[in-house]
Structure 1
Amino acid sequence: MPEPDTFSLLSSPNIKQVQQNVEQTPLFDHRSYSGRKKTLPRCEIRSPASSMDGTVRSVWADNFKAESRLLHQIAPRARHVALNMQYPGCVFVHGNSRNHRDLTAEERYELIRANVALLMPLQVGIAVRTDDGRRFAWEFNLRGFDITSGKHARDPKSVAYLTGCGVDFSRLPRAGIDGYRLRWLLRDSGLIRARPSWATFAGAYHVAYFVTMMYGEKLPHSLNAFMEMVRQLIGRPLYDVKRLAREHDRSCVGALSNVVGKLTAVPPGEGISKSKPAGTGSIMALLAFETLKKKLGADMEKYRHELCGLQVV
């Protein structure tokens, strides 16, 4: 259980809980990253052809070590990385307004912080484009959330949607990956040190969950402090595809799949599975980002670190 003041924000008069009688539970096992270098066996990249063409690699506890070795080989060559987090919805609304457009950026952050503090992430999708043009994508399934436990907050509609998308809720608590192990992998692999350009779609919650996981601690109280943590973690090149798409074409709106279709970002003849939501989401965000980067050129630089759902709506 968390310390008494761990989620003090949840008692803020501005935040209202949609579901009642939900026990507050820690987001992660907050084991700190020691910074110690650990040598993994070197391996040549000899993956099946299907893994080299953008197919999502589903990662659980039983194949985590094998996929870790591959990521160690790929990460130092990363040029573009796209992030997608899946989580069981939201259970809080802001007392000032249910319409995000009516809230200030600080109020939107206050709401995000409350939801991220209480709801556990389910999956982390990472898509990587290397300097030689290859594409890899992983979907890391996290241990922690137990759908049979009344103590773990969730939005039933979101859970139903994710179940339909292929999230195996029954397998997560017994076969998922501990968050601290994934944190160590992403830091030690060289993915952060490679300083790639990062992309996400409607990224406020995706980035908030990622920051929490990578630091192993709750989010800071202020928006400015949060954005500073983002800059320290992944550097300046962070872009929200939803923001870029809207600047490119005002009609390029809606869900990520709609934006990708509007941009014709998926190469001809390539199908993208929808059965792995985090992994698929990261691939689509990566493809859309790369398409928009070509279209916008240097103009996209002005939209760095502008996250939809936070600074913009």
Structure 2
Amino acid sequence: MASNNSIREVWNYNISEEIDMIYKILPFTPFVSFDTEFPGTIYKPDVPNYCLTSLPPETNYFYMKANVDALKLIQFGLTLSTFPDPLSGSVRSFVWQFNIKDFDVDSDVHNSDSIALLKNQGIDFTRNKVDGIDSGLLISMLTDCGVFGSKIPHAWITFHGAYDFGFVVKILTGSPLPSDPITFMVLVRQIFGESVFDLKHVMKSFNGLYGGLDKLANTLKVERRSGTQSHQAGSDSLLTMEDSRTFWNNPQNDVSIATFDLLNYGKLTFFPDLSDEENIYMKDGSIFEPGVMSEMSSIIVSNLNVDHLARTVS
């Protein structure tokens, strides 16, 4: 199997053409991974690090909500992937890195250690302020083109993704996150659909899999794309996708992927059970509706002409 295409950098001056490209590709890519970069965490429970995993789900959600509500997005990474070609087994992955202008390193709250790490990994905060994209505009455009809320079934894949989902929910609704995790997960289901997986949760069920995204990649013998950096959202979203594909294609992992669907089993780091769905109200007061791509849901992705798709994004 092989993925191709470099990470496409997106700024305010080329976002329209890149969103149009996503619109064209989305019906043929049933697998979606995403990642966000944000300025660290500023609220943490007063317990040793080794105790964090044993905290109650409600406590973990409380701190996640506090941080997401207070912080601003820096980058959003998106990877769309096809089914393997029936003849060659090759897979096409298409990757975008959206650079966000919201965060001001001089005036907005942040974790100084996290900012130093992101600078070291190549994020240019000055350019983001000048050429970056408004996060509200980005999420709105991704919704309109069908990435969020589409009736086309997609499998969403993350790594330790609670904060990633949190930022999307906050920006799309234009409101602080709900006060309880149940309501939050209802919103996740309505925005992202019925199939959501977190590799951090999945790996806990298998011996020898532990640590962060790069540690998992090393264990699975997955190499990060040459010339890309960790802690940049596009590269991390692609590595998440490639880790997941390598894991599920291992014949020793004969358990069904559906076993780990976070929305069926409530394992987005902190979650009990889902309640009945309610309407999502966006910041203009309107009810959230599926994206305009929904009429294309009858396309059979297994019949994808991969060469044609490659020309689309060339």
> What range describes the TM-score normalised by the shorter chain of this pair?
0.7 to 0.9
Partner of 2:176: 218
Partner of 1:71: 22
1:297 deviates by 4.7
Query: Do the aligned partners of 2:169 and 2:187 also contact (CA within 8 Å) in 1?
Result: yes
Task: Classify the secondary structure of the residue corresponding to 2:78.
Answer: strand
Query: Do the aligned partners of 1:53 and 1:136 also contact (CA within 8 Å) in 2?
Result: yes
TM-score (norm 2): 0.75
For structure 1, which segment, 106-115 or 214-223, has the greater mean C-alpha deviation from structure 2 after superposition?
A: 214-223
For structure 1, which segment, 92-101 or 163-172, has the greater mean C-alpha deviation from structure 2 after superposition?
A: 92-101
Is 2:111 the partner of 1:155? yes
Query: Do the aligned partners of 1:96 and 1:103 also contact (CA within 8 Å) in 2?
Result: no
Deviation beyond 6 Å, 4+ runs, structure 1: none
Is 2:94 the partner of 1:136? yes
Equivalent of 1:208 in 158, 166, 173: 166
Query: Do the aligned partners of 2:75 and 2:99 also contact (CA within 8 Å) in 1?
Result: yes
**Corresponding letter in the other structure for 1:154:** H
**Corresponding letter in the other structure for 1:277:** Q
Identity of aligned residues (%): 27
Map 1:54-69 → 2, pairs under 5 A: 54-69=5-20
Query: Do the aligned partners of 2:37 and 2:231 also contact (CA within 8 Å) in 1?
Result: no
TM-score (norm 1): 0.76
Partner of 2:59: 107
Structure 1: gaps of 5 or more residues:
1-51
1:88 deviates by 0.3
Query: Do the aligned partners of 2:139 and 2:168 also contact (CA within 8 Å) in 1?
Result: no
Partner of 1:48: none
Partner of 1:11: none
Equivalent of 2:241 in 286, 296, 306: 286
1:54 deviates by 3.6
**Corresponding letter in the other structure for 1:288:** D
Task: Classify the secondary structure of the residue corresponding to 1:62.
Answer: coil
For structure 1, which segment, 278-287 or 59-68, has the greater mean C-alpha deviation from structure 2 after superposition?
A: 59-68
Map 1:1-313 → 2, pairs under 5 A: 53-94=4-45, 99-131=51-83, 133-149=91-107, 152-192=108-148, 193=150, 194-248=152-206, 250-266=207-223, 271=226, 273-274=228-229, 277-295=232-250, 296-305=253-262, 307=267, 309-311=269-271
CA distance in 2, matches of 1:233, 1:87: 21
Deviations 1:149-201 (A, max 9, x none): 2xx11000000000011111111222111112211221121223222100010
Query: Do the aligned partners of 2:230 and 2:236 also contact (CA within 8 Å) in 1?
Result: no
How many residues get paired? 256
